[in-house]
Amino acid sequence: MPAIRIWLKSPLAIFTANDLDARGGLVIEGGVVRELIPLGGHPAQPCAQVFDAREHVVLPGLINTHHHFYQTLTRAWAPVVNQPLFPWLKTLYPVWARLTPKALALASEVALAELLLSGCTTAADHHYLFPDGLEDAIDVQIEAVRTLGMRAMLTRGSMSLGEADGGLPPQQTVQQGEVILADSQRLIHRYHERGAGAVIQIALAPCSPFSVTPEIMRASAELAEAQDVRLHTHLAETLDEEAFCLQRFGLRTVDYLDSVGWLGPRTWLAHGIHFEADEIARLGAAGTGVCHCPSSNMRLASGICPTLALEAAGATVGLGVDGSASNDASNLMLEARQALYLQRLRYGAEAITPQRVLGWATRGSAQLLGRDDIGSLAVGQQADLALFKLDELRFSGSHDPLSALLLCGADRADRVMVGGRWRVIDGQVEGLDVQQLMAAHRQAAAQLMAG
């Protein structure tokens, strides 16, 4: 059966993330963009369907490059509301150690649904908890991604340095290096898809300098090189982490990254706040990218990512919502708004424009994940789209539709398409009983806290 040609006609506004003219809309066929229509133009060939987009602001599907899905179960937990990162982690680790496959499945579905409703079509998750009974955590997440019909980069995280050996996490949350590497290899061989249109991809992601050994960092880098997959970790998030690296390794964070073979274009880092000028230059020269997580950085009072300095040095910048226990939402449009305002505090209003920030959430994030088939709207790109209406009270009186998304606080897409298939229609996820999911998720959250 031939693919249906669809014309998304005459949007209210459109952001292509590459300065191409598509004011007349897009033609989609076979899950990809076939034509960009200039203002006043028409498709070169007839279209079986026409979608009137005159009330919609059209964006490439947003791309989330750092998350912890499981943390939706521990949002706004009173004991950690006012704690910075290290005590926040030490208080939560024992709770997270009780995670079950069922609870993880529910947590992942909630995170993905929330992301999807915010206009996000691709999500990277950093899962590093594998207590007894949860050895197949990434497999559980893959099923959730398939249920929601999104794309995902699922990173096989790890913790191998427990409290007994000078690390931060409790012993029941750490794994031996050979177990970590064997499961990493299994996941790559079983699930990792390559090339344009990939739906499920795997990356390797030892958690942080204070929770893994240098040996597992080096071995993960070697495995990633051999299997041609990407590397991800937390780095330079807090001054506590910097002090830990200096005390334990005698190195600052970027020197440590270099010492274990991670300073290169295969790597993207979460947070990337506490860098000196020469370290920023080294990251840029190496092609190492950084995911900016503004809400989490503000909530934990960690600091402000030097985004423009990183970009000036040649590093790619993308966006991530981070875990839902330090954000505490999984909404990428709200994250873009936070990025706009936080980065203006550092660099000024003129330098940090809505277009620049939306570029981080789309094209920049795609580059962090090593993808050139998503994150922008051009002929041949995947038909991943987020469509927003400006018909709520908060938008009344707004004039520039693209700026209004961030300045007026858009937080829910009206329609979302992934690979040419509508996954959100009229603000609702297709085929998902949200109320039923929330009821089960709330019960799982209560059980987790009860132990």
CATH code (residue 164): 3.20.20.140
Q: Does the structure show a pLDDT above 60 at 1?
A: no
Asked, for residue 441, whether it belongs to a domain, the answer is no
Same domain for 147 and 40: no
User: At 451, is the pLDDT very low, low, confident or very high (cuts 50, 70, 90)?
Assistant: confident
How many domains would you assign to the chain?
Answer: 2
Same domain for 70 and 153: yes
Asked, for residue 449, whether it belongs to a domain, the answer is no
pTM of the model: 0.98
Asked, for residue 156, whether it belongs to a domain, the answer is yes
User: At 3, is the pLDDT very low, low, confident or very high (cuts 50, 70, 90)?
Assistant: confident
User: At 2, is the pLDDT very low, low, confident or very high (cuts 50, 70, 90)?
Assistant: low
Cα dihedral across residues 43, 48, 51, 57: positive or negative: negative
* Sequence-separated (6 or more) residues with CB below 8 Å from residue 346: 304, 306, 307, 308
The CA-atom distances, in angstroms, between 86 and each of 83, 293, 351, 397 are 8, 17, 33, 44
CA-CA distance, 401 to 441, in Å (whole number)? 35
Q: Does the structure show a pLDDT above 60 at 178?
A: yes
Same domain for 10 and 129: no
Same domain for 210 and 199: yes
Same domain for 297 and 151: yes
Same domain for 76 and 50: no
Asked, for residue 374, whether it belongs to a domain, the answer is no
Q: Does the structure show a pLDDT above 90 at 195?
A: yes
Asked, for residue 123, whether it belongs to a domain, the answer is yes
Domain that holds residue 55: 6-60+380-429
> Quick one: pLDDT at residue 61?
99
CA-CA distance, 157 to 36, in Å (whole number)? 39
Q: Does the structure show a pLDDT above 80 at 384?
A: yes
Q: Is 107 exposed, middle or buried (0-12, 13-18, 19+ CB in 10 A)?
A: buried
Same domain for 51 and 92: no
Same domain for 218 and 78: yes
Q: Does the structure show a pLDDT above 90 at 216?
A: yes
Asked, for residue 131, whether it belongs to a domain, the answer is yes
> Quick one: pLDDT at residue 81?
97
Question: What percent of the chain is predicted at pLDDT more than 70?
Answer: 100
Same domain for 411 and 319: no
pLDDT in tens, 250-287: 999 999 999 999 999 999 999 999 999 999 999 999 99
pLDDT in tens, 385-413: 999 999 999 999 999 999 999 999 999 99
- The CA radius of gyration of the chain, in Å to the nearest whole number, is 21
pLDDT in tens, 153-171: 999 999 999 999 999 999 9
